[in-house]
Amino acid sequence: MKKRLLALAVGMCMVTSLAACGSDSENEKSQGSIVLGQYKGIKVAESVATVTDEELQDYIDYILESNQTTENVEEGTTKEDDKILAVYTATMDGETVSELSSSSSGTNITLSEDSFAIDGFVDQLIGKNVGESVEFDITIQDDFTNETYRGAAVHYVVDIQAIVVTITPELTDEWVTETYGYLNLSTVDEFKAYYKENLFLNTVYNDIIDEVMENQMVESYDSDELAEMTELYKQEMENQLSYYGIALDAYLQAMGQSEDSFNEEMETQAKDYLKQKMFVYKVAEEEGLTVSDEEYSAKMVEYAKSMGLESESELVSYYDGVMDTDDYKYTMLGEKVQKLICENIEVVPDSELETTGEETTTGAEESETTTGTEEETETTAA
């Protein structure tokens, strides 16, 4: 695949547009057929459906940490666990060794044990002043990665240029407006409410999605679409293995898996994706869910901003040849379906689910049982 698809929207976990990655076909409503089973009124334990203050704060802390910045402070004295910016030069017998030296622009070094490849190096830099040039001799350990320098005596000159300080933003109305204005958030209270809902949707969805999908019955798959998706999954697997220098044949042999078994596994994954795709479109049709032009434009800006891009046009350019308008609309529609499902759960005491252990049987499941192999039927696209 050209690029691994990022999670476009905050809280969006239902739809991943794998079909768009490297696919030449239009990502339109599948020509397969699905019978909807229960997707509303799914029972969820109270502890799962409740976002505690502690959980929300942990999530907010994570967001703030994700927005940390660094500043180079050009004064002060270094101490253990500090991060510093330093330029270091290694010499042996008076000759510079570039492989053991930094670039002229410097390198960030954390002054803690095992943070540098050469044992004892960082110890020489603790308690030194910014702007100081530190010289020392050191013998490289016998288990050094590069065998050429194991046991070598090296002279180092290290120029400490700055202490690198990590700055965590303070959660204020001003910061919320500046950072998350594209989500129409301008106050801390709005920020907390938005991410509390986000946590609720993600937690509940992850808890019930397997049950929801089991309740749906596929009557038929579009044969062309199924073949294409199966091939895409196979290509993705081969690409992942190739990244590690492993051939598919070698992988299958190591796993004791036949090629036929592998192909069946990839087809199963393709069917799972297509089942979800048909489900999204069918629920949207039943519930009257659509994506208006205004919603589309606003969401595209939201997606772009969440990825650090400035505009919809930059997002489209970034995913050119990977995603098209139909793919983005499908993602947006999937978000609406996810929210609909999660907002229509039945919250029950934890004890009820712990003691019953019952699985909800739907009309669709019963139909699936009686039809036997009907789910495996494939239709050819018109």
Q: At 87, which CATH number?
A: 3.10.50.40
pLDDT for res 5: 28
* Residue 31 confidence (pLDDT): 75
Q: Which domain holds residue 227?
A: 18-63+173-379
Do 88 and 233 lie in one domain? The reply is: no
Residues 191 and 234 grouped into a single domain: yes
**Is 322 domain-assigned?**
yes
Q: Which residues contact 211 (CB under 8 A, 6 or more apart)?
A: 42, 359, 360
Does 280 map to a domain? yes
Write down the pLDDT at residue 49.
97
- Please report the pLDDT score of residue 246 as a whole number: 95
Instruction: Output the pLDDT for position 66.
Output: 94
> Are the beta carbons of 20 and 322 closer than 8 angstroms?
yes
Q: Are residues 242 and 159 in the same domain?
A: no
Beta bridge mates, 70:
166
- Domain check: are 34 and 75 in the same one? no
Specify the pLDDT at position 357: 57
Select from 342, 353, 338, 357 the least CA-distant residue to 47: 353
- Of 146, 167, 188, which closes a domain? 167
Q: Are residues 84 and 47 in the same domain?
A: no
Q: What pLDDT is attached to residue 14?
A: 38
Residue 1 domain-assigned (yes or no): no
Among 152, 167, 182, give the residue marking a domain's end.
167
Beta-bridge partners for 88: 158
Residue 94 and residue 201 in one domain: no
pLDDT by residue, tens only, the chain of 382 residues: 333 223 333 333 333 333 334 344 444 566 799 999 999 999 999 999 999 999 999 999 999 999 999 999 999 999 999 999 999 999 999 999 999 999 999 999 999 988 999 999 999 999 999 999 999 999 999 999 999 999 999 999 999 999 999 999 999 999 999 999 999 999 999 999 999 999 999 999 999 999 999 999 999 999 999 999 999 999 999 999 999 999 999 999 999 999 999 999 999 999 999 999 999 999 999 999 999 999 999 999 999 999 989 999 999 999 998 889 999 999 999 999 999 999 999 999 999 988 765 454 444 444 444 444 444 444 444 3
Please check whether residue 10 lies inside any domain of the structure.
no
Is there a domain that residue 12 lies in?
A: no
User: Are 34 and 140 in the same domain?
Assistant: no
